[in-house]
């Protein structure tokens, strides 16, 4: 039952992120139709209006309070951005975090002197702790054209603010530990929510051929968060402390620009 609940929570995280991504895409497509941004434009010659869909991956290294709970983790997601003709960039993104580097043992009250958790059969249970999280962020900044094949490439600086939540997934692989089943799971997962701020510094490339469009950089994240659960079973108390869960992410965006390529001119004698 505990594993089933964890799977449901994970599916909820993914569905929530997918809904946000779909909503952002709808508004950007609507904006694009109303402003003619899908008209034929030349990326090679001048700074143009470029809406783009981004898929991204990042590798996160925790700091602040987060370093005592998790080790490194992964983040995948979708973003929707617009670069305007004056090289301002604005948009948003959503993603999910996951990893197996959990330092905080939230089931310590279930561990026996032998170092394991006893299941209903009197054997040591196969327990697994992992990280799960979701984020939704609005971002804006500017692109500075330097060292690129066209005026739409350069160094990209973005500032962001958004919502972040993370938890510890407690999994009983064989589902034989009733102490973590059903609602009891909530006493161990440390579900934490709050506001997150970010600063991204990277390089944005929109190639002339439209075959290679990406951004590679580093992102610094700071958050103000709290554990929202009513009680931590292994600590026998409610956690009311404020958390500063920070991390640095090494990030790669793969972009799909939504403008039409200008057709080549053909001349005949």
Per-residue pLDDT of the chain (269 residues; tens, 9 = 90+): 444 444 554 555 556 555 555 555 555 455 444 444 444 567 787 899 999 999 999 999 999 999 999 999 999 999 999 999 999 999 999 999 999 999 999 999 999 988 899 999 999 999 999 999 999 999 999 999 988 889 999 999 999 999 999 999 999 998 899 999 989 999 999 999 999 999 999 999 999 888 899 999 999 999 999 999 999 999 999 999 999 999 999 999 999 998 766 555 444 44
Residue at 57 is within a domain? yes
8-state DSSP, 66: G
pTM of the model: 0.82
Residue at 34 is within a domain? yes
Residues listed for the chain: 269
Q: Can you give the pLDDT at residue 269?
A: 44
Domain residue limits at 123: 2-261
DSSP 100-162: S-B---TTGGGB-TTSSBB-TTSSB--EEEEEEEEEEEEEEEEEE--SSSSTT-EEEEEEEEE
Whole-number Å distance between alpha carbons of 133 and 192: 9
Residue at 10 is within a domain? yes
Residue at 81 is within a domain? yes
Residue at 268 is within a domain? no
> Could you give the number of structural domains in the chain?
1
Q: Can you give the pLDDT at residue 38?
A: 46
Using an 8 Å Cβ cutoff, are 99 and 58 in contact?
no
Radius of gyration of the chain from its Cα atoms, rounded to whole angstroms: 23
CATH code: domain of residue 108? 2.40.160.20
Residue at 151 is within a domain? yes
Residue at 62 is within a domain? yes
Q: Can you give the pLDDT at residue 20?
A: 56
Residue at 269 is within a domain? no
Q: Can you give the pLDDT at residue 7?
A: 52
């Amino acid at each position: 039952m505990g594993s089933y609940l964890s799977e449901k929570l994970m599916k909820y995280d993914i569905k929530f992120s997918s809904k946000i991504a779909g909503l952002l895409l709808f508004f950007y497509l609507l904006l694009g139709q109303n402003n003619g941004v899908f008209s034929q434009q030349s990326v090679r010659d001048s700074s143009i209006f470029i809406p783009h869909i981004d898929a991204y991956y990042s590798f996160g290294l925790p700091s602040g309070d987060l370093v005592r709970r998790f080790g490194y983790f992964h983040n995948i997601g979708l973003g929707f951005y617009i670069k305007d003709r004056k090289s301002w960039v604005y948009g948003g993104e959503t993603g999910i975090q996951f990893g197996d580097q959990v330092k905080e043992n939230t089931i310590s009250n279930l561990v026996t002197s032998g170092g394991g958790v006893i299941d209903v059969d009197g054997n040591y249970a196969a327990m697994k702790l992992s990280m799960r999280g979701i984020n939704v962020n609005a971002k804006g900044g500017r692109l500075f054209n330097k060292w690129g094949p066209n005026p739409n490439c350069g160094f990209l600086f973005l500032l962001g603010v958004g919502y972040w939540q993370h938890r510890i997934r407690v999994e009983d692989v064989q589902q034989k530990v009733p102490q973590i089943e059903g609602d009891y799971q909530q006493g161990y997962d440390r579900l934490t929510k709050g506001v997150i701020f970010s600063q991204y510094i990277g390089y944005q490339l929109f190639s002339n051929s439209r075959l290679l469009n990406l951004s590679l950089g580093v992102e610094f994240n700071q958050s103000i968060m709290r554990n929202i659960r009513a009680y931590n079973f292994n600590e026998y108390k409610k956690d009311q402390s404020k958390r500063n869960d920070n991390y640095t992410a090494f990030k790669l965006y793969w972009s799909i620009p939504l403008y039409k390529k200008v057709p080549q001119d053909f001349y005949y004698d």
